Amino acid sequence: MREVFSDPKQYPFSLRAVLRANTFENIVDSNIFSAYIPSDLSVPRIEDPRRRISPQAGISRHPGYIPSRKIDQIFSYIGYVKRVRNREYKEYLPLLFSELRRFFKILVDIVFAPDLIISEDVYAEQKFGLENFIDMFTRRNTNDEDWIKDIWEHQKEYLADIDRLLMSLRRRGKVFSFDEDPLYKEIITICRNLPAKETFKKPSNVDISLVANCCLKAALDGKSKTLWSGDRDVKKLMVPIYEHPHITRNFPQIYLRAGYLPQNFKRLFPL
């Protein structure tokens, strides 16, 4: 296990530091719950075979998954090792499990900060992801080798911890939705009517609802918000919304910042 120290320049401490330093209330997407592999961690990087492949029918990817050239999220990494059963990676599992636990400790600090909230859409997406995993867990091969079983157990434990964090957010009133508001519905209509050329793919309902809810939260509070997202489609939704001044005059500026990839915290919108 690597020595644990609170260097604000080192991931995941850098994530906590940038969120704490942000001027506005933080609204986060599902990717906040995904632990990235620190750049200095001595594990071989693996090409991500899912980057250009759609999920198999009936199988949903973990909601925090972000496609990239290399698998850079711990949960996805150990899941890949579990699927391919390549013993070459077995020796790296204890280090990855340790990093997953370390990330969760920092995540607890982040989630319990007073200026962090999530939309109902993100909450539901995470709960659905857990349900999908539990379904696969119950149908797994119980005769697997012990090291494969160990991966299953670590994944289950991590998602159970995330679920408890989500429930704590709910209890503290940090989960919000304004889907009955007329302005929300108007923003939803704009996003769903975008011409195909505006996005690489059709935006998901979660992305659309997240953006609309963020705008409504800013409108009702009368304060700017920072939306954190690792999904490129979120930016492609924000831009056309701001082409409708009759909409944007209802709320202060929304600032979109990049996802949680270590050290990639730049502002994406407005530029």
CB neighbourhood size of 130 (10 A): 18
For residue range 168-202, list pLDDT tens digits in order: 999 999 999 999 999 999 999 999 988 766 445 67
Q: What is the pLDDT of residues 29-53, one digit of tens each?
A: 998 999 999 888 999 999 887 665 5
CB-based contacts of 31, cutoff 8 Å, min separation 6: 64, 66, 228, 229, 230, 231, 259, 260
13-to-3, 77, 125, 176, 211 alpha-carbon distances in Å: 13, 21, 25, 27, 27
Give start and end residues of each alpha helix (H) in the chain. 13-21, 74-84, 93-111, 120-138, 146-171, 182-192, 205-221, 232-241, 245-248
Q: Supply φ then ψ for residue 32, to 5 degrees.
A: -60, -25
What does pLDDT average to over the chain?
Answer: 88
Break the chain into its structural domains and give their ranges: 1-271
User: Is-above-0.75 flag for pTM?
Assistant: yes
The residue ranking higher by pLDDT, 62 or 34, is 34
Of 219, 223, 217, nearest to 24 (Cα)?
Answer: 223
Residue 68, pLDDT > 80, answer no
